[in-house]
């Protein structure tokens, strides 16, 4: 009798070389000995996907998305086959399947396809036959019968979606860190690993720059209440459980501080202050698929105002190109782009009921002589756009002001 079904996912760093692949195989084998059924999703070895993307762009700077997926999907096919061979060597029955063979169906949005359904018939058959099923992550079958990938980091999505489709008891995400921390341990020496975190907090952290898991995969986990554990493939520590809200979870109001350097600030100077102008500007940008974040409009003087907002640095060039035309049309003065900014954010579901948190955050930044250029809030986070050079200092100051370090007990 099976003790239950676990879906595991091993990231690129966990299968970066032969020794690590062997270690993963050993871990899988030990779960088998304990009596679990296993479906294991793997990413491509190490930096394979980056290398494939680089190769493609050297051949053609504007490669077709369909062929990009043909190319990128090979990385996961290789790792799934190799891991399966390592299991065979240990005497563990296992079979490697591609995304399409696993019954993962997607839409046609190549390079960032969405999963539309999973029909895990083959997976069930293989489990029944006594195999550990090793699934190539990050891919599925498009309506045209072609291979499609799920966006960068998409193996997390494969794992969480499969865990839901298979009604697995647990989804374990193995990576090269011990779990989710109160802040990036490379920036904050005193950062502490959290035992539990809610889906919402994790989502804020993921989209705010602490990218341990792909944000879309956490959305799916939340939607279907998939219990997820993030843990290291390099040791046996228990990791961080991502779950629904639990009463009095670890007490603290603020659970984490994150730093995101991926955005740039754009200011349109001297915008005529009349109805319809802001709509015009943001419509043009969103039509081109660029998402805009923190938006600030200054008080107007003499019928003119400045509008600032942030976009991803990778979208900056494109955004400016679009805005130049709009600026001429609406007779604004000019566009100023600023890449030397960062976003520092505090996150925690406990903030919902604690009105004083924002004031404390601003106070901490002020005491550290850090100027706040823009502010944005959600129900469970507050973000400030500040100078990039102040980022590290801000994260450390906030981390200690909210008592998040190892030295402070958070119950
Ligand atoms: N190999 C893919 C990537 O690097 C998918 C993944 O690792 O999750 O984005
Ligand atoms: Mg990843």
pLDDT digits (tens, 9 = 90+) for 46-95: 999 999 999 999 999 999 999 999 999 999 999 999 999 999 999 999 99
- Per-residue pLDDT, averaged over 288-299, amounts to 88
For 368-392, what is the mean pLDDT? 95
Residue 335 β-bridge partners: 268
Return the CATH number of the domain spanning residue range 263-338.
3.30.70.260
372 pLDDT more than 80: yes
- pLDDT value at residue 230: 96
Q: Which ligand is nearest to the CA of 177?
A: 2
**Predicted pLDDT at 27:** 98
- Residue 208, pLDDT score: 66
Mutate to test the pocket of ligand 1, among 40, 46, 73, 76 (most ligand atoms within 8 A of CB): 76
For residues 12-27, give the mean pLDDT: 97
Residue 122 and residue 262: Cα distance in Å, rounded? 41
Same fold, 5-176 and 256-260+341-401: no
- List, chain by chain if needed, residues with CB within 6 Å of any ligand 1 atom: 12, 43-44, 49, 75, 137-138, 152-156
Residue 286 has pLDDT above 50, yes or no: yes
CA distance 20 to 36: 22
The CATH superfamily holding the domain 256-260+341-401 is VC0802-like (3.30.2130.10)
Domain boundaries along the sequence of the chain: 5-176, 256-260+341-401, 263-338
Which among 137, 153, 160 is the best mutation to test ligand 1's pocket, defined by most ligand atoms within 8 Å of the CB?
153
Residue 209's pLDDT is: 63
Local confidence band at 205 (pLDDT 50, 70, 90 cut-offs):
confident
Ligand 1 atom closest to Cα of residue 150: 5
Helix (H, G, I), strand (E, B) or coil at 118: strand
Read out DSSP for 121-180? HHHHHHHHTTPEEEEESSEEE-TTS-EEE-STTHHHHHHHHHHHHTT-SEEEEEESSSS-
374 and 345 Cβ atoms separated by less than 8 Å? no
344-363 mean pLDDT: 91
| Mean pLDDT taken over the chain | 93
What is the number of the ligand 1 atom nearest to the C-alpha of 76? Answer: 1
Residue 410's pLDDT is what? 45
Phi, psi at 376, each rounded to 5°:
-140, 150
Give the torsion sign (CA, 123, 48, 227, 8). Answer: positive
Rounded-to-integer distance, Cα 387 and Cα 371, Å: 8
Q: Ligand 1 center to residue 327 CA distance, Å?
A: 38
Architecture of domain 5-176: 3-Layer(aba) Sandwich (3.40)
Confidence band of 288 (pLDDT split at 50, 70, 90): confident
* 322 Cα–ligand 2 center, Å: 32
The predicted structure's pLDDT at residue 248:
64
Q: What is the pLDDT of residue 127?
A: 98
Supply the pLDDT for residue 359: 94
Q: pLDDT value at position 251?
A: 63
> Is the separation of the CB atoms in 139 and 155 below 8 Å?
no
Give the whole-number percent of the chain exceeding pLDDT 90.
82
Mean pLDDT for the stretch of residues 373-379 = 92
CB burial of 321-345 (b: ≥16 within 10 Å; e: otherwise) equals ebbeebbeebebeeeeebeebbbbb
From 55, 155, 206, mutation site for ligand 1 pocket: most ligand atoms within 8 A of C-beta: 155
The DSSP string of 271-292 is: EE-STTHHHHHHHHHHHTT--E
pLDDT on residue 354: 83
Q: Which of 34-43, 98-107, 271-280, 402-411 has the lowest mean pLDDT?
A: 402-411
Sign of CA dihedral 217, 222, 224, 226: positive
Ligand 1 centroid vs 12 CA: distance in angstroms? 7
225-264 pLDDT, tens digit per residue, is: 999 999 999 999 999 999 998 766 656 689 999 999 999 9
At residue 38, φ and ψ (nearest 5 deg) are: -135, 135
User: Which atom of ligand 1 is nearest the CA belonging to 154?
Assistant: 8
- Sequence-separated (6 or more) residues with CB below 8 Å from residue 130: 93
Distance 58 CA to ligand 1 centre (A): 20
Q: Considering only CA atoms, which of 329, 326, 311, 330 is closest in space to residue 271?
A: 330
Q: What's the whole-number mean pLDDT along residues 19-35?
A: 97
More confident of the two residues 406 and 12: 12
The pLDDT, as a whole number, for residue 30 is 97
Q: How confident is the model at residue 289 (pLDDT cuts 50, 70, 90)?
A: confident
Q: CA 225, CA 289: separation in Å to the nearest integer?
A: 30
pLDDT band at 301 (very low <50, low <70, confident <90, very high): confident
- Rounded average pLDDT over 124-140: 98
Question: Does residue 21 register a pLDDT over 70?
Answer: yes
pTM, rounded to two decimals: 0.88
pLDDT at residue 115 is higher than 70: yes
What confidence category does residue 292 fall into, taking pLDDT thresholds of 50, 70 and 90?
very high
Q: How far is the CA of 12 from the centre of ligand 2 (A)?
A: 7
Confirm if 2 and 35 have CB atoms less than 8 A apart: yes
Give the atom of ligand 1 at the shortest distance from the alpha carbon of 214. 8
């Amino acid at each position: 009798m099976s003790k239950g079904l676990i879906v595991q996912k091993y990231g690129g760093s966990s299968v970066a070389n032969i020794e690590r692949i062997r270690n993963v195989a050993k871990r899988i084998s030990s779960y088998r000995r304990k009596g679990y059924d296993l479906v294991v999703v793997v990413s491509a070895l190490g930096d394979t996907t980056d290398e494939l993307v680089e190769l493609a762009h050297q051949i053609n700077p504007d490669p077709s998305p369909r062929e990009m997926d043909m190319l990128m999907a090979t990385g996961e096919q290789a790792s799934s086959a190799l891991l399966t061979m390592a299991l065979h060597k240990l005497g563990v029955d296992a079979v490697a399947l591609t995304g399409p063979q696993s019954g993962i169906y997607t839409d046609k949005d190549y390079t960032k396809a969405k999963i539309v359904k999973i029909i895990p018939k083959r997976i069930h058959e293989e489990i029944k036959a006594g195999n550990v099923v090793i699934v190539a992550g990050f891919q599925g079958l498009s309506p045209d019968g072609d291979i499609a990938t799920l966006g960068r980091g998409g193996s997390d999505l494969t794992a969480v979606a499969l865990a839901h489709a298979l009604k697995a008891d647990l989804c374990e995400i193995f990576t090269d860190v011990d779990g989710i921390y109160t802040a990036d341990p490379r920036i904050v020496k005193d950062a502490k690993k959290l035992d539990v975190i809610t889906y919402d907090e994790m989502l804020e952290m993921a989209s705010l720059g602490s990218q341990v898991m792909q944000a879309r995969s956490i959305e799916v986990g939340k939607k279907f209440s998939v219990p997820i554990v993030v843990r290291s493939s390099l040791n046996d520590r228990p990791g961080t459980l991502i779950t629904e809200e639990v009463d009095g979870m670890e007490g603290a109001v603020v659970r984490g501080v994150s730093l995101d350097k991926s955005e740039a600030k754009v200011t349109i100077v001297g915008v005529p202050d009349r109805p319809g102008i802001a709509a015009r500007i943001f419509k043009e940008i969103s039509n081109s698929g660029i998402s805009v974040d923190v938006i600030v409009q200054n008080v107007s003087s003499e019928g003119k105002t400045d509008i600032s907002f942030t976009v991803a640095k990778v979208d900056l060039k494109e955004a400016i190109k679009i805005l130049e035309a709009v600026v001429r049309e609406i007779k604004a003065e000019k566009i100023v782009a600023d890449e030397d900014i960062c976003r520092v954010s505090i996150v925690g579901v406990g903030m919902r009921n604690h009105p004083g948190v924002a004031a404390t955050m601003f106070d901490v930044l002020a005491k550290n002589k850090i100027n706040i250029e823009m502010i944005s809030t959600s129900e469970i986070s507050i973000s400030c756009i500040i100078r990039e050079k102040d980022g590290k200092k801000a994260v450390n100051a906030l981390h200690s002001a909210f008592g998040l370090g190892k030295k402070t007990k958070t119950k």
